[in-house]
Structure formats: C-alpha cells, structure tokens
Structure 1
Amino acid sequence: MMRKFIHLSSSTLLLAVLVIFSSCDKNDNFTPFFSVEDDKALGAQVSQEIANDPSFDLIAQNENPDAYAYINGMVNEILSSEEVAYREEFAWEVTLIDNDSVLNAFATPGGYIYVYTGLIKYLETADALAGVLGHEIAHADLRHTSRNLQKQYGVSLLLSIALGDDPSALQEIAGQIAGTVAGLKFSREFEAEADDESVLYLADTKYACNGAAFFFQSLLDENQASPPEFLSTHPSPENRVADINATADEAGCDTNLASGTEYDAFKALL
C-alpha cells in the first residue's frame, strides 16, 4: 500500500518551502510540488509500464510508418501553438493502440499520448481527431495528473519524491497510473479546462478550432443513452458541445472544417 505520510526533518521542510515558493507553473494554475522534471520522469516511467503490459496492443512506429507520419504531423501542428506552455519541455510522443472496439485516447504526464484505433475510425473528420488530440495535449500541458496526485497523496510523499528522498515512490505511482490510465477520469473542472485549451490550440492550425465538439456531437446525433466509459463522469455531451462552441465564438477562431481526403486515407491504413 502506498505510504501517505513520510517524516521530514526540519531542514528538509525548510528546503521544501524554498522549492515550493521558488517554483511556478507556466500555466499559473497551481503551486507544484512536482517539478516539470518530475512530470517528465513520471511520464517516461508510465510509458514503460504501458509498453510492458500485454493488454495494450501497441502499434510500433515501424509497423505502420505512414499512419504515424500523419498523426505526428497533426500533433506537431497543434504543438506549434504558443498556447502550449510546455511544448519544448515534454516528449509529445504519440502511440497508436490497436483496438477497434474502444473509443478512447489518453495522455500521461510529460506528454505521452495514446490513441485507440476505434476512436480514429469512429471520428468522421480530421478536425474531430485534432480536437481530441488538443484536449489530451491540454491534460498533459496543464499538468492535470500532477494536480490530482497532490490531492490524492498529499504534500509529504510528493515532496519526498521531488527532493529525491524516496525514489521508489515514483515507480510505484507510475505503476498505479499505468494500471488505470486507459480509464483515467478527471474532474469536471479539468475537463472544461482541457476543452477550452483545445480551442485555443487549434485556433493556430488549419483545423476547425471547435473540433473537440464534433466527437460529442456525434454521440448526441446517435442518441447514445450510455456514453463510452471514459466519459461516464465527464460533463454531459450537450454541455460540452455548447461550452466548446461558446469558447470558439469568444476567441473568434475559424470553425470551418478542413478540406481534403487525407483523413480517410489515414483511417484506411489502420
């Protein structure tokens, strides 16, 4: 069981206070006990745990280089937005998961992004996929998992990791995240933040800036009584479509669909 309380000496506590008040998150949304380097280390560890888990049927880059060229190009275009605070620091590595029955995508700390083939085949336009990717990039860029960890484990454990006093704890947390990451749930506040950021990210691209709304609109159009499991605690699709479109209106960005047949060709590769 994860230890929730660790004794820290007075000198360590003083150093911890100095670390906290000398640290600032680029997004100015919380006081981090995890540094950006800790996010990167945790993300790399989670990525390794997922790679070692046979339940994730990962598609290697060399197995389908054309598909990866397409989705990496899309991610790189989104990352060109100056709204992405950690676009230079995080890995932003995309991995495709071969499972046509799952409508899901998720991101770990440090910018490791995973997308199921089922979601790609379900989405009808490149704009919709760009919106989902923007949303997941926002979860990593806004450091939502780190913010959740602070609530879940408390200050003492995270400070011990940040100060290098308990290196095994990072691996233990990574294993727990990897075990639940496909069903990772964020608060309504975090989902709304990620939706809003996705609009701002896509505003600098060729894709419709409200692309994230298209997935939820598809669910509404199909009148799905039960949304996919990973949406079960999220705000309702109706509210998300309205809120995303309102953010796009406020930003005054382009909501016209990107033209071209490249997306259909991309889906045919999977």
Structure 2
Amino acid sequence: MKRNILLRLFTPVTLAVVILGITSCDKNDNVALFSVSNDVELGQQVSAEIASDPSYNIIPESENPEAYAYINAMVDDILNSGELAYRDEFAWEVTLLKDDNTLNAFATPGGYIYVYTGLIKYLETPDALEGVLGHEIAHADLRHTSRNIQKQYGVSLLLNILLGKNASQLKQIAGQVAGTLSGLSFSRDFEEEADAKSVDYLGATDYACNGAAYFFEKLLEEGQAGSTPEFLSTHPSPDSRVEDINALATEAGCDTSLSGKSGYEAFQNSL
C-alpha cells in the first residue's frame, strides 16, 4: 500500500528525476532502467518456464552429447571473439529443440540460446548457422528484449522491480516471454544492429563473417522470402539484408570465404 501511495505522489517531473537517479547507461551505451541483474534473473525464469513446457520438445544434452559439443563449440567461437559486452555476466547456455519443421532460433535475456533442429537441417553450411547464432547472441548481448520490456510494461511496474518488489512481476513477464516469445520480436533498428554485430563476431572467427547472409540468400533462391521466420524478421526485407550484411563485411575487410569446417553434416544427421 505504501508503495502505491508513494508512486501516486510522484509528479511526472519528480518521477523522471527518480528514474534518472537509479538508471545509467549499460555497456552498450543504452539507457537501462531494466538492470543487468534483472536480465540475469529474468533469463533464469524464462529458461525454467521453457524447461517445464513439453511443447518445446527439448533434446536433453545427455541424449546427444556429441551434438551439444558441436554447437557449444560454435557458440564459444563467438563468445571468445572479444566483441561481447556481457561475455562474463550472462549464461550463454544452448538448448536444442526437436522440431524439423521449424526454421527458428531465439535468445532470451541473460544469454539462453534455443535452436530448432529444422533450422540446423535447413542451413547447408556451418557458416550460415554461425551467422544466425551471432545474430541471436547479439539480441541478448545488446539487451534488445530488456529494451522492449521497458517500452512494453511502463515505468510503474519497472520501478516496482527496481525497488525489490519483483518476484511476481518478473515471473509474469517470464511466463509471457516463454509462452508467446513476447518481447523477442524486434524493430527494424534492432534487427539491423543484430545483423551488424553478427558480422563483427564472425570476423574474429574462422567462419565467413557474412554467414548470416547465406540464410537469406537460400530463402530468396527457394522463393521462401515471404515466409521468413519471425526470429529474422521480414523488416528489412531478405534481399536488403543480404546486401547490407555483405556491405558491412566489405567495409570491415573480414573474410567472407566459407570455412569448410568438418563435422557439420554429421552434426546435422545426429539430430
């Protein structure tokens, strides 16, 4: 009750002063009302929600340790690129989801990464998969979901979280993210940021730094551009994204030749 009275007593000006007093810029120079520790806690709760939902059809690591070893090594290459702001703060935990008909992947706050078998089997080269992983890791590292949450839920609820009244609110948000992937659909600007970061990440690995472009190129070749999965939204369009990603790679001067890494076909077949 006291908390509600306190919030009602704030004028817009004084509320703004309070917010400015408890917020700061994060490592990516974005104004952050939702804190990094909130990201970590929310990610843990979303991960628990997904783990308890049989519709996600999680492949346990104990059932296919070889597949997990392969994709974890791919993620580690990105994490060790030196380009992540929250390399040490977030979990960066990968989970494989069994659904050969779904071309999808997503990453939650706190660095929990989910990849569908349909996407892995669709992508013909490890460079393309690495590009998608880079894109998803970028969404988490740039805290895009948190920035969405700041807009979606408003100041009052986020102040409750910041003031320690967060148990039920964070659980509610976690349930919505896990149940509907709410907050994981991003604006054009966020998609472009993630594409650009993917190039940066892969530029420091042995993979083609424009790996993400291969996914869009395949969609275009097969006439499936209109069915681009939500995780790599249709805005901007796939052909535009191919051009933009390749232009960024050219500007960066990074290697765009396919890596030719071995073991990818065996990895696909193991799923």
Q: TM-score normalized by structure 2?
A: 0.92
156-165 or 243-252, which moves further after superposition? 156-165
Q: Which residue pairs with 1:45 in the alignment?
A: 45
Consecutive unaligned residues of structure 1, counting only runs of 5 or more, are none
State how far apart, in whole Å, the 1-side matches of 2:183 and 2:122 are: 18
- For 1:232 and 1:105, the matched residues in 2 are separated by 12
Report the CA distance between 1:260 and its aligned residue.
3.2
- Rate the CA distance shift 1:146–1:68 in 2: closer, same or farther, 3 A: same
Counterparts of 1:177 and 1:258 in 2: how far apart (Å)? 35
Alignment of 1:63-78 (within 5 A): 63-78=63-78
Shift of 1:180: 1.4
Tell me how far apart the structure 2 counterparts of residues 240 and 263 of structure 1 sit (CA, whole Å).
25
Mark the CA change 1:8 to 1:218 in structure 2 (over 3 Å): closer, same or farther: farther
Paired with 1:8 and 1:238, the residues of 2 have a C-alpha distance of 51
Return the letter of the residue paired with 2:241.
R
TM-score norm. by structure 1 comes to 0.92
2:228 is aligned to: 228
> Which aligned pairs between 1:1-270 and structure 2 lie closer than 5 A?
8-9=6-7, 16-20=19-23, 23-28=24-29, 30-181=30-181, 184-224=184-224, 226-230=226-230, 231=232, 233-270=234-271
The question of whether the paired residues in 2 share the 8 Å contact of 1:78 and 1:201 is answered with yes
Partners of 2:268 and 2:100 in 1: how far apart? 11
Kindly indicate whether the alpha-carbon contact (under 8 Å) linking 1:106 and 1:184 is maintained by their aligned counterparts in 2: yes
RMSD: 2.0
Q: What amino acid is aligned across from residue 18 of structure 1 in structure 2?
A: G
Contact 1:90 1:111 in 2 (8 A): yes
Letter in 1 for 2:263: E
Q: Distance in 1 between matches of 2:126 and 2:204?
A: 15
Question: 2:102 & 2:224 partners in 1: Cα distance?
Answer: 15
- In structure 2, the CA distance between the partners of 1:57 and 1:7, relative to structure 1 (3 Å rule), is farther
Matches of 1:62 and 1:185, distance apart in 2: 31
Preserved CA contact (<8 Å) 2:103 2:229: no
In structure 2, the CA distance between the partners of 1:163 and 1:223, relative to structure 1 (3 Å rule), is same
* Offset of residue 166 of structure 1: 3.7
Worse-superposed segment, 188-197 or 163-172: 163-172
Letter in 1 for 2:180: T
Between Structure 1 and Structure 2, how many residues are aligned?
263
Q: Distance in 2 between matches of 1:259 and 1:131?
A: 14
Q: Which one is further off, 231-240 or 90-99?
A: 231-240
| Whole-Å separation in 1 of the counterparts to 2:119 and 2:5 | 45
- Partners of 1:106 and 1:182 within 8 A in 2: no
Asked whether the 8 Å contact 1:105–1:115 carries over to 2, the reply is yes
Distance in 1 separating the partners of 2:5 and 2:48: 30
Offset of residue 182 of structure 1: 8.4
Q: CA deviation at 1:233?
A: 4.3
Deviation at 1:232, TM superposition (A): 5.3
Question: Where in structure 2 are there 5+ consecutive unaligned residues?
Answer: none
Aligned mates of 1:64, 1:164 — CA distance in 2: 40
Once the 2 structures are TM-superposed, how far is the Cα of residue 26 of structure 1 from its aligned partner?
A: 0.4
Counterparts of 1:223 and 1:268 in 2: how far apart (Å)?
Answer: 25
Q: Cα–Cα, structure 1 residues 236 and 61, in superposed 2: closer, same or farther, change >3 Å?
A: same
Q: 2: distance between equivalents of 1:66 and 1:182?
A: 32
Q: Secondary structure at the match of 1:130?
A: helix
- Which structure is richer in relative contact order (CA contacts within 8 A, separation 6 or more)? 1
Q: Letter of the aligned partner of 1:25 in structure 2?
A: D
SS of equivalent residue, structure 1 residue 218: helix
SS in 2 for 1:66: helix
Identity of aligned residues (%): 65
How far, CA to CA, are the matches of 1:171 and 1:105 in structure 2?
23
- What displacement does 1:183 show? 9.3
- SS where residue 25 of structure 2 aligns? coil
